[in-house]
Amino acid sequence: MAKSKTRFVCQECGYESAKWMGKCPSCQQWNTLVEEMVMTSSPKHTGIGSNTSQKPEKITSIETKEETRILTQMPEFNRVLGGGVVPGSLVLIGGDPGIGKSTLLLQISQQLADKKVTVLYISGEESTRQTKLRADRLGAMSDELYVLSETNLNLIKAQIEQLSPDFIVIDSIQTIFKDEVTSAPGSVSQVRECTSELMRIAKTKHVPIFIVGHVTKEGAIAGPRMLEHMVDVVLYFEGERHHSFRILRGVKNRFGSTNEMGIFEMKEEGLKEVLNPSEIFLEERSEGVAGSCVVASMEGTRPVLVEIQSLISPTSFGNPRRMATGIDHNRVPLLMAVLEKRVGLMMQNQDAYVKVAGGVKLDEPAIDLAVAISIASSFKNKPCRAHDVLIGEVGLTGEIRRVSRMEQRVQEAAKLGFKRAIIPKRNADDLVIKGDIEVIGVESIQQALKATLSD
């Protein structure tokens, strides 16, 4: 009879220990180590191609062919995936509870079922009746859409063998369990083993599988980071529950560009695409107000124009506050230090609040110039010109550095009616723009301030 022993596994990072500890030494989280049973004679792991004996091949002799992607009726969703759903891919979608993950996947399932693609929607959190109620509201009715309420992976595999679907949805991976693993559903061991088994099914049967993952309070997908390493594509569904707009962002994609972004609007009948997000983000912008600037940011392969807002006010505390929403909070004191040292704006006794309007998160260096100018605009109480767009990286010596894909950014600004683009001098020297927009190249933060805030 197989002997069993116990181990303690961190539910955040997957760290294993022979003894219980209050604090995980790997991820530094408290009370995350949970006791799990380990069978010494566990069944052999089955990976991709484990049933066949394969030999090494010369890479020059391997035959390849272009994958025929499965297209949905949502161009935004297709673009985030890199051009459509790749057969045999394993896609992980994470997001806050109630953000719309199940709604999006049910709509995608219905669109594929309308194309005579056999879809199996497996729900481990809802009954088939509950899924049917949501489908009635969304209008997701098709004879090719099958619904299964099951959490046992062995029974799910049997139904997949019997039905042979062309598209599979697992909602969610934290509810699925294997009988061979003794730990509870949602534990590190269960999530890892179930994901590995689903990956084998996707690769051997050449069937795309979408799995839903819960997120932690920090916004990361629950479970070990190994879960994100195992899958082919990782998508994050972001947005505020009290706002109608949702952002689908790709953070990993083996079949396309990363950091692609798709914008959706939540309505009563489901999620609708927003084909021109720049207009949405700028439609409520107040012109002639100090502290407001517009930047053209690249989200994957698409330029998006968003508004940067800053508010500088005298502090009432010994240490001034530095707060940022939508950008890295460490970037704000850095740019304020550049403005103090290189321009002479003394803001040591000022509170600073910086926000990206619309709920977008920006993390590229090209937004530095817009953030710095908006801070200076609020400090001087002088508004920027309403039809200016600012693009550029700011160095610690006050220089404005070159950024990539400048032509696409400026073209998008011209299309939306902006009259001037303040960009790095090195980008402006070799830039060819078709459109009614003036391009001004600047080499330093002083030149940028003179070009934007001077009368």
Binding positions for ATP are 95-102
Cβ(368)–Cβ(402) under 8 Å? no
What is the chain's percent helix, strand, coil content, to nearest 5? 30, 30, 45
For the annotated binding site, the residues are: 95-102
Residue pointed to by tokens 């107040």: 286
- 316-340 burial, b at 16+ Cβ within 10 Å, e below that, comes to eeeebebebebbeeebbeebbebbe
Cβ(281)–Cβ(305) under 8 Å? yes
Alpha-carbon distance of 428 to 451, in angstroms, equals: 15
Cβ(101)–Cβ(128) under 8 Å? no
Cβ(410)–Cβ(433) under 8 Å? yes
Cβ(442)–Cβ(392) under 8 Å? yes
Q: With left for phi above 0 and alpha for psi between -120 and 50, is residue 225 left, alpha or beta?
A: alpha
- Check residue 396 and report its DSSP letter: T
Cβ(174)–Cβ(195) under 8 Å? no
Alpha-carbon distance of 2 to 264, in angstroms, equals: 52
- 90-110 burial, b at 16+ Cβ within 10 Å, e below that, comes to bbbbbbbeebbbbbbbbbbbb
Torsion of CA 56, 61, 66, 69, to 10 degrees: -10
Cis peptide upstream of residue 172 (ω within 30 degrees of 0): yes
